[in-house]
Amino acid sequence: MFKFKKRRSLPKETERKIYVNQADRNEEFQYADNFIKTSKYNMFTFFPMNLFEQFQRLANFYFLILLVLQLIPQISSLTPWTTIVPLVAVLCLTALKDGIDDVQRHRNDNLVNGRISHVLRDGEFKQERWDHVKVGDIIRMENDQFVAADLLLLSSSEPHGLCYIETAELDGETNLKSRQSLPETATLLDDNAAFTRLRAEITCEAPNNNLSRYEGALKLDGSQLSLNNSQVLLRGCILRNTVWCYGVVVFAGKDTKLMQNSGKTKLKRTSIDRLLNYLIIGVCICLDTICLLPHHTAEQRPCGYADGVDFLFIECPARAGFLLQIVMFLLCMCTICTIACGIWESQIGVKFQVIQPWDVFVEAIVNRQNQSGAIAVIAVLMFFSYFIVLNTVVPISLYVSVEMIRLAHSFWINWDQEMVFKDIPAKARTTTLNEELGQIEYIFSDKTGTLTQNIMTFNKCSINGRRYGDVVDEAGEMTEPLENTPLTDFSDNPEADLKFRFYDKTLLRDVKKRDPDCDLFFRLLSLCHTVMPDEKNGRLVYQAQSPDEGALVDAARNFGFVFLYRNPTSITCKIMDEEVEYELLDILDFNNVRKRMSVILRKDGKILLYCKGADSIIMERLRPGNDQLKQITNDHLNSFASDGLRTLCLAWKELTPTQYSTWKAKYHEATVALENREEKVDAVAEEIEKDLILIGATAIEDKLQDGVPDAIYSLAQAEIKIWVLTGDKLETAINIGYSCKLLTDDMREVFIIDADDAAGTQDQLEKAKTKLGSPDSPMLSPAADGIPRSKSGVTFPGPGSPTIHDIATVENGHSNGTAAKEMDENNICALVIQGKSLVFALTPAMEMLFLEVASLCRAVICCRVTPLQKALVVGLVKKHKKAITLAIGDGANDVSMIKVAHIGVGISGQEGMQAVLASDYSIGQFRFLKRLLLVHGRWSYYRMSKFLRYFFYKNFAFTLCHLWYAFFCGFTAQTVYDPWFISFYNLFYTSLPILALGIFDQDVNAKNSIDFPKLYTPGHQNLLFNRQKFFRSMMHGVATSLILFFIAYGAFHYSVDDLQGIQAFGTGLATILIFTVTLQVALDTSYWTYINFITIIGSVVFYLSLTLFMYSNLFATSYLGSEKKVYSSPAFWFTLVLTVVILMVPVVAARFFLIDTRPTLSDRVRLRQKNESKLKRFQVSAHVAGLTRPSASVTPTARRRKNRRSMRSSYAFSHEKGFGDLITTGTNMPGGKESGSVRLWGKKARRRTDQNGAGAVITLANAFVEESSPEKEMQEVRIVGATGDQVDGVLRPVVPVQITSL
């Protein structure tokens, strides 16, 4: 017997007590263990839970009710197997798919839970799986390991209990952050015995999702010690630059802050699924109304007709009234049908009591003499009978077909070789959301690792007025480097990084000439920083809090200025093969207020101050004079910024000993102040950082992923709004926005919301709303700020500017020919909001104001946001805008918004696989999102919409023939078709052509789908399948059924051939129906393949063959021989041709009329595609025949540099204060301030020069192993002989942009 342990309910946790090394006491609190579960089922719960979930789907529940009704013989005229088999098949296939998905989730859970940690057990650190780790356990971790749970840091290999972590899984930042243990626990070091004896009590906050806060207290040896976030290592972090560390688990499993920010997995359904549910409800209501029509039981046949005799031609005076009911079917269904039911039974049905008495079941309920009661009972019975007969309007095969089509669409995504990156293909991790990819209105994107590679590269610089780094073609114009552009040769530098790419050889030439300005420039880069050196696989690597800073130090290394190592009192570099040591006096570290950093050094008796920072900050602190150099440098900065580069300025000054000593006293006094210490330190630093001498400027490229600007441009042209949600600071996010063309020159204004309180945030939002509502809002003139404006490389079309899409702007699926109406001028704006302001903007009192302002902007950037804030922003739009949302990211910090959005896309990036595992689709790079949406998403929506329209059409045409036949059979629920035909109609006869349509059809090819993003816009308003389209398909089916039935009825009734009888009529009507709906699907097919030909022709052939076979002498059926009688009659074939012509000619005429008078963009592009295909075939044929030759050849050419206005001074220092204090105090140095060097280069540091200057020189010649060259950069191709350099053939004007800080 299984025993289930009942978990006693615990009160809500308000605080947590943890007893270190006392597992028995911690067990009493029943804290969550470290087991992570993302799976939904186990062996015992799979079938009940899965069935429960499946029957929550309205369609499955509907067919379950239908099956129950079919099992009742008194009301069912069809065998229940017609519902049992497809229902069981659907349930089993869905359960199989869900089971496979859940098995994969179990495997992923096992991979995470199966990671190994070293946990203190019985006085020794033993290997334990992550899921066996418990709260209160002490864990040992080593360098480059993931943190298993939220830990309180106890000690580390670094001095003073310091360790470094990378938090990319939490906030997307790859720069290092420092954590430091309490001095009282740092002395434990790595003493196992000391940890075994350790007994302490931790009191802390309850589990929560705040990543930046931890409050608690540690009771150790009778002392109460305060705890904060600086002592906590969170799950998902990676230990860096630290040999080992120890920590005690405070939160485990689902209580960790990472999991608290992950959100809950919700069942996602597409809008088409939801619409189908509504339609089913509506159809059921209609069927219920129809079923109130007058009727007889199967035994109640009119006078003169025995069982099985045809009732088709009964003459009755009420026929005209019944035809009137058909005309008023939708308007007065309930009233007329209810009255007609009573009339039929009271005036006609009662006259056949002697020949056809009422059923025994009816008489058992009511007395024979109680005619009104009997009529009511019969009405109820026939209500359910017709409910069963007419259920084929929405057959269960609909959902089988939908799932098969979605599965095929998923395979198209998985097999698309255009979306493979480094052998990583795109993958559809779900099969239920494909068509929703074609209806996306909002994209929420992470930045780091999603839009960017998080790789900073030294791109250009300005040194004493000279500009370096440009690539110039033969005509002397600046161009983009191509694959074959020669690189600067650094092979004579053994310390050079082989990945470093620089194209301007003049800079290296000047460095080798020992140009004093270049020497000073790179000397500053190699000395003014807080980078920590490290060694990995015998190579010198740098660990920096800011990736920009690491890129600058790495650039200096490549040009011969190699930073080797440091200690609290000195910095050692190798400059042009000569080791040089500087005495480190002070570091004035960076913070978000100063936006600069400085170092004060002493060398050969000279005291030097080197400073680098934002250009606006440095320019204000320069020594008066030398205006020409300042102007030239400022011009260079503007040019760098317009290229999307991140800039900063370099400056220096020499201090006299008196100046320094006086300042040092003030600085020391400020550093020991008890009140307002930071402000006083900044004020003193301001005094020394004056009268600087300008050296030059640097330009760093935050390398975007390939194709990001083009992808964002195309998605914006598809009228998809893109919001970037990032943990980066404001300047970095804005600069990346310009680089990736999310922010462009033609935007009227960029509003910045950065208030620190609710009132300020609301005021800024109100001002932005007012300006957005005013078309006369002030704009900067091209020269208003002194910044030259250049044409954007790829920009959004400004308001009123002509574009290629003017030919057919899609509005309600049709062209209006006016591009000016497609984008209101107010939308040419952007909104940038800080995380601190977003906290107030997301409150209930302000969220609608924020959403209103954001909705009026084309682009929105949210900076410094937490994972939970990302989810809240997505949820806000999802809730109030009623739009389809997509979230894309690559790290664990993106999981929450991926789960909240309608569709989640994970990128297989450098931040782990958490985002991919939580996503619905995974791709290798952001650029593939364009093809995923504009091609696969649009095709899926287009195909599914066309499939559903045709499916409802053919089933209304098929099913309503039963309704028309009811007027002639006394409403006995007798079917007009053979029961086998009813079963096979959707299963065999009409299934394959419509599946081929839903899987292969396309209006335009992939190239044109990408070239014309406006083709995507109908999905936003669900224009291709909605209630109106459904109603049209229904009315088309109703009209078809009417024409089919009554033409066949008249032809068969008055035919000179012997075609009377229900069997002959049913066979003929079924055959005409198959020909009609098959020809209709042929007309609906836009893209023909061999499979379409085979399925369309094969379906008709299969129907005829199977009919001849089943109605032969091999089977005992009432339809025996009816097919020979029908198919041998010329009247039948004439009727078939006549019916098909009557039904098809209006359809063809209407389509030609609409294409000729009101063409959609799709129609125009398809015509263009057809003409291009014909022209291409003609050119190829002519070329083969030797009549002509190709008029243009494709050759790679250099791309002319495209500039754009950008915010300057976007140098991305660390988001937190740097390592300056740790370096100067010796906190991160072994042995403190008196230590000789850092641990890494300790041995080399001891190889000091002797008194005569002779000594060993540190070289790293053998430390670098040749690696493969980095990825080839993208290049453009130009048609030789073509004219113009326009985008899409259109010259777009540049509209001035205003950066507005509110």
Supply the pLDDT for residue 1274. Answer: 30
Reported as a pLDDT band with limits 50, 70 and 90, residue 562 is very high
Reported as a pLDDT band with limits 50, 70 and 90, residue 915 is confident
The answer on pLDDT for 1224 being more than 70 is: no
For the ranges 46-50, 346-350, 541-545, 744-748, the lowest mean pLDDT is seen at 346-350
Supply the pLDDT for residue 779. Answer: 36
Catalytic positions are 446
Residues in CB range of 22: below 8 A, 6 or more apart: 136, 199
Residue 1048 phi, psi dihedral angles, 5° rounding = -65, -40
Q: How big is the CA angle at 866 (ends 862 and 869), to the nearest 5 degrees?
A: 70
Residue with more model confidence, 95 or 343 = 95
* Closest C-alpha among 1131, 1103, 1083 to residue 958: 1103
Percentage, residues of the chain above pLDDT 70: 75
Per-residue b or e along 337-352, where b marks 16 or more CB atoms closer than 10 Å to that residue's CB: beebbeebbeebbeeb
- HEC string of 1143-1181 equals HHHHHHHHHHHHHHHCCCHHHHHHHHHHHHHHHHHHHHH
What is the C-alpha to C-alpha distance for residues 832 and 862, in angstroms, rounded to an integer? 6
Supply the pLDDT for residue 360. Answer: 65
The answer on pLDDT for 1252 being more than 50 is: no
Supply the pLDDT for residue 112. Answer: 85
Average pLDDT over residues 515-528: 93
Supply the pLDDT for residue 364. Answer: 63
What is the C-alpha to C-alpha distance for residues 1045 and 1062, in angstroms, rounded to an integer? 13
Supply the pLDDT for residue 509. Answer: 92
Give the range with max mean pLDDT: 363-372, 994-1003, 1233-1242: 994-1003
Supply the pLDDT for residue 9. Answer: 53
Tokens of 486: 């020669």
Tens-place pLDDT, residues 383-435? 677 777 777 777 777 777 888 898 899 999 999 999 998 888 999 988 888 88
Residue with more model confidence, 1249 or 446 = 446
What is the C-alpha to C-alpha distance for residues 580 and 1255, in angstroms, rounded to an integer? 12
Q: Tokens 């200025």: give the residue.
A: 561
The amino acid at 719: E
What is the C-alpha to C-alpha distance for residues 410 and 1234, in angstroms, rounded to an integer? 64
Average pLDDT over residues 1024-1045: 89
Average pLDDT over residues 1109-1131: 81
The answer on pLDDT for 1206 being more than 50 is: no
- HEC string of 744-773 equals CCCCCEEEEECCCCHHHHHHHHHHHHHHHC
For the ranges 356-360, 846-850, 1018-1022, the lowest mean pLDDT is seen at 356-360
Tens-place pLDDT, residues 791-835? 223 333 333 333 333 434 443 444 343 333 334 444 578 999 988
Supply the pLDDT for residue 279. Answer: 54
Number of Cβ within a 10 Å radius of residue 76: 20
Question: 922 and 420 in contact (C-beta within 8 Å)?
Answer: no
Question: 186 and 151 in contact (C-beta within 8 Å)?
Answer: no
DSSP reduced 3-state for 1243: helix
This prediction has a pTM of 0.72
Tens-place pLDDT, residues 241-269? 888 999 999 999 889 988 887 766 665 66
What is the C-alpha to C-alpha distance for residues 1267 and 1230, in angstroms, rounded to an integer? 33
Average pLDDT over residues 1195-1205: 45
Name the DSSP letter for residue 1248. -
Tens-place pLDDT, residues 727-764? 777 777 887 888 888 888 778 888 999 888 999 999 99
Residues in CB range of 47: below 8 A, 6 or more apart: 95
Reported as a pLDDT band with limits 50, 70 and 90, residue 1288 is very low
For the ranges 215-224, 423-432, 912-921, the lowest mean pLDDT is seen at 912-921
Supply the pLDDT for residue 1263. Answer: 36
* Closest C-alpha among 258, 1204, 1209 to residue 729: 1209
Supply the pLDDT for residue 1262. Answer: 37
Reported as a pLDDT band with limits 50, 70 and 90, residue 276 is low
Supply the pLDDT for residue 983. Answer: 81
Supply the pLDDT for residue 408. Answer: 92
What is the C-alpha to C-alpha distance for residues 188 and 221, in angstroms, rounded to an integer? 14
Question: 375 and 403 in contact (C-beta within 8 Å)?
Answer: no
The answer on pLDDT for 323 being more than 60 is: no
Reported as a pLDDT band with limits 50, 70 and 90, residue 201 is very high
Tens-place pLDDT, residues 1166-1189? 999 888 888 877 776 666 665 544
Q: Tokens 């400073």: give the residue.
A: 611
Average pLDDT over the chain, rounded to an integer: 77
Residues in CB range of 867: below 8 A, 6 or more apart: 170, 171, 209, 211, 261, 262, 892, 893, 894, 895, 896, 897
Percentage, residues of the chain above pLDDT 90: 29
